[in-house]
Structure 1
Amino acid sequence: MIAMGERAVTTRGARLLSVAASDLDGHIARVRALPWRGGVGRLIGDVQAAGLTGRGGAGEPTWRKLATVATTERPVVVANAAESEPASAKDVTLLSRCPHLVLDGLQLAVETVGATAVYLYVRPGPAARIARAALAERAARRWDLFPVRVVEAEESFAAGEEATVLARTTGRRTRPTRSVLRRGRTMGRPGPPDRATLVQNVETLAHLAQIAYHGPAWFRRLGTAAEPGTFLMTVSGMVARPGVYEVPVGIAGSALLDLAGPADDPVAAVLLGGFHGTWLPTATIAGRPLSRAGLEPLGARPGAGVLVAASAAQCGLAETAAIVHYLAAQRRPHCGPCRAGLPEIAARMTELAHGRGPDSHRLAGLVAGHGACRHLDGAANLVRSALDTFATEVRRHHGGECSCPG
């Protein structure tokens, strides 16, 4: 269900993917010069006027994070390209097609906050190789003012969480904590060593670079008033053209599914936001704007920019059980509720998928909010949304039946 095609799809109005240049010469031909602002804080006003929000999941105003870190002593900047969400391919696509756009944004962020240490935290494999090659090109041309150290992410679902990012870039033990993750991305909290650290997703940095190139008014031409610009969405599952789409914030769910094209069977439900996301019936999201404000009444969010389409020929309960088993395998051993709760949720979901057990509403409610990080909460949210979206199927399973073939 989560198998991704290798296709990257640009759409009309695309900005990041439409100016793709994987080599530095091609990039320079498009941007001509890196738009340095000549001092700490000078880009913040433009970023605030543009209304850029984080594209890594939390959706915080980017200017606010920049402003907070810029007031601290010797801060650190980390570009986050861990992309540990299994259903996501947007960050590796972005790095593959336009790595220098990302790295320009990283350099400008460093100048803006006055950082004295810079890291690119990247998923091992192709993304890391592309990043190193791009940085070598830039070093040979003396394109950058600030040296960047590449740190490869760990191989885990939690690799992109901020506490893990900070631990990995400083060589400390990886141990996510609820206090960090509940409050969102770093905004002046201790980093390496005990210095404020700005962590930004690489897509956010690419948008920041384009704001510096073209200005806030240009950036606001697409998207919504509250959430301007475009965003990258990885679309997979039962669609004809899986891939990474760049679309304006606020595009209707039906319009995005139309771009991806129908598969043999119509889409009955979608998983939005990834493995910690929310199942919703297709009819519910058809006319809904895909934005934080548009999805909030449904209890959903774009999250990491993931949409997985499921057809009526698939059992949503079985698909959810498989995802929860994966999440259980990714739990942290030091967290008691996570260590005990996630395998139990996975077992209950498997029983339900095979028509042998009760639903997991009560269990999901008991474990939510008690883990050391949001991993347990995310799994509980996934289960609750599946039980709501596939409520008819739950009743059939209790009767020993299933609507899906096999």
Structure 2
Amino acid sequence: MNHSTAAAFTPEHRAPGPGSSGTRLLAGWHATGQPATLTDHVRHHGPLPHTEGVPGLVEHVEAAGLTGRGGAGFPTARKLRGVIGGRGPAVVVVNAMESEPASGKDQFLLAVAPHLVLDGAVLAAAAVGADTVHVCLPRTRTDQHRQLGTALEERRRTRLDPVRICLHALPHGYVSSESTALVRWLNGGPARPQGSPPHSHERGVARRPTLVHNAETLAHLALVARHGPDWFREAGTPDEPGTTLVTVSGAVAAPGVLEVPLGTPLATLLDHAGGPTEPVRAVLLGGFAGTWLPAESVHTPLARRDLAPLGASPGAGVLVALPGPACGLAETARMLAFLAAHGARQCGPCRYGLPAVAEDFAALAAGHARPDLLSRLHRRTGLLPDRGACRHPDGAARLAASALRTFADDVARHLTHGICPAARRPPRIPVPPATPPETWR
């Protein structure tokens, strides 16, 4: 298993773990400890399959059972077919924005194996009949731009790619990584989500059918094209095959990015990240728009089928271990304040509902025992899902509702006795400043 530092997610050293047998995307990095140049990449993975020589790539991806690794888990083959069925030449967009603050998997993958992602984008372009690939990165990550620009120049010198690949720097807000926000920005608008229809696969960039995929998803696609669906299914579970990247942080000895088979118990992920440094009280799964789970749930496999009964999913591939001495309500209040500040503010739930929930949760964390606080918080949280122009309010509601369940004892204590001592301690989960981007363009 492989690791990047939790603070910057740069490839500095390898994490302890069970070895390279479970790694695919990060196998080259595990073997060398160095980011892969194009020469290294070809030596390890072999040349890019001829784009005309991968007949039935969509069928292979479907047989492999590959799903999107950006959070939604949508079947990759279905997205490919949706674009193929559109009118006119298509466009491919690589979503490498990774705006989830607790995630570093795509940053790490692009740092150590950029050509695997670019191979996947080129193969996807061939499959859907696209002549252009747009790679979207946040403009705040200048090192990432430089590294990926170097990788693209290597490919241009060898005339490797039959399609045009363009690198873009976008405003870095939480919702600017949403697929329709990328399309909107590439069309000259703000990097904010836009409602549907039309859907991007029907009319996206330049009004052309557009395929938007997460960076990790495309890297997996490049391996499926080389090795086939049976190889891909050798890892994971029958229902959810393959490996996935997970950013593990919090109260663990070696926080970083791991590659694990789907179906791996959450407790095993914590062990691969060096093990807990303190007794774990709860884990946050999926990131700031994810779900709090109590410590007794850590033996649950990392698979949608097993997590669904708990109201959770792998989400953006984030696992944060919260230690016993921390206050889950205070940690959640900080995250909700961030989410409220980073909304697109294009609809009522984002402009008014989410800030109201964040304000109520801050009052709860501070021990302000107003008689109607808890009932109002439950009511407002219940009103957020399925009402916004995008899914941003839904994620915030999921986080808040899961905190009220998982930290129910703390809720009662804060309402009865006021703020707890743990809430006065320094935060255990890093939260960026609750300020939105200065510009969305």
**Which residue pairs with 1:143 in the alignment?**
160
Q: After superposition, give the CA deviation of every residue in 1:266-294 in whole Å (9 maximum; x if it has no partner).
A: 1110111111100001212x221101111
Q: Which runs of 5+ in 1 are unaligned?
A: none
**Which residue pairs with 1:49 in the alignment?**
63
Partner of residue 354 from structure 2, selected from 342, 363, 368: 342
SS class of match (1:143): coil
**Which residue pairs with 2:391 in the alignment?**
374
Aligned mates of 1:254, 1:25 — CA distance in 2: 37
Q: How far apart are residue 201 of structure 1 and its match? A: 0.5
Aligned mates of 1:4, 1:236 — CA distance in 2: 12
Worse-matched range after superposition: 329-338 or 224-233: 329-338
Q: How far apart are residue 371 of structure 1 and its match? A: 2.0
Q: How far apart are residue 3 of structure 1 and its match? A: 5.2
| Alpha-carbon distance change, 365 to 178 in structure 1, aligned in 2, over 3 angstroms | farther
Contact 2:9–2:107, Cα closer than 8 Å, also in 1: no
Q: Which runs of 5+ in 2 are unaligned?
A: 1-5, 30-34, 425-441
Partner of residue 404 from structure 1, selected from 418, 422, 432: 422
Contact 2:184–2:194, Cα closer than 8 Å, also in 1: no
Contact 1:11–1:246, Cα closer than 8 Å, also in 2: no
Residues 1:118 and 2:136 aligned together: no
**Which residue pairs with 2:120 in the alignment?**
105
Q: After superposition, give the CA deviation of every residue in 1:108-156 in whole Å (9 maximum; x if it has no partner).
A: 1111111022101123322222211100010011111112011122210
| Alpha-carbon distance change, 330 to 8 in structure 1, aligned in 2, over 3 angstroms | farther
Aligned mates of 1:215, 1:192 — CA distance in 2: 31
Contact 2:365–2:423, Cα closer than 8 Å, also in 1: no
SS class of match (1:371): coil
Aligned mates of 1:250, 1:41 — CA distance in 2: 30
Paired letter, 1:241: A
| Alpha-carbon distance change, 308 to 4 in structure 1, aligned in 2, over 3 angstroms | farther
Q: How far apart are residue 31 of structure 1 and its match? A: 2.6
TM-score calculated relative to the size of structure 1: 0.93
| Alpha-carbon distance change, 345 to 298 in structure 1, aligned in 2, over 3 angstroms | same
Paired letter, 1:225: P
| Alpha-carbon distance change, 58 to 352 in structure 1, aligned in 2, over 3 angstroms | same
**Which residue pairs with 1:221 in the alignment?**
234
SS class of match (2:101): coil
- The equivalences for 1:181-260 within 5 A come to 188-260=201-273
SS class of match (1:59): coil
**Which residue pairs with 1:164 in the alignment?**
181
Q: After superposition, give the CA deviation of every residue in 1:6-32 in whole Å (9 maximum; x if it has no partner).
A: 566475311111123521111121233
| Alpha-carbon distance change, 143 to 333 in structure 1, aligned in 2, over 3 angstroms | same
Contact 1:387–1:394, Cα closer than 8 Å, also in 2: yes
Aligned mates of 2:219, 2:9 — CA distance in 1: 23
SS class of match (1:193): helix
TM-score calculated relative to the size of structure 2: 0.86
Moved over 6 A (4+): none
Aligned mates of 2:23, 2:291 — CA distance in 1: 26
- The equivalences for 1:222-371 within 5 A come to 222-284=235-297, 286-357=298-369, 358-359=373-374, 360-371=377-388
**Which residue pairs with 1:93 in the alignment?**
108
Q: How far apart are residue 341 of structure 1 and its match? A: 1.7
Q: How far apart are residue 170 of structure 1 and its match? A: 1.9
**Which residue pairs with 2:98 in the alignment?**
83
**Which residue pairs with 2:38 in the alignment?**
24
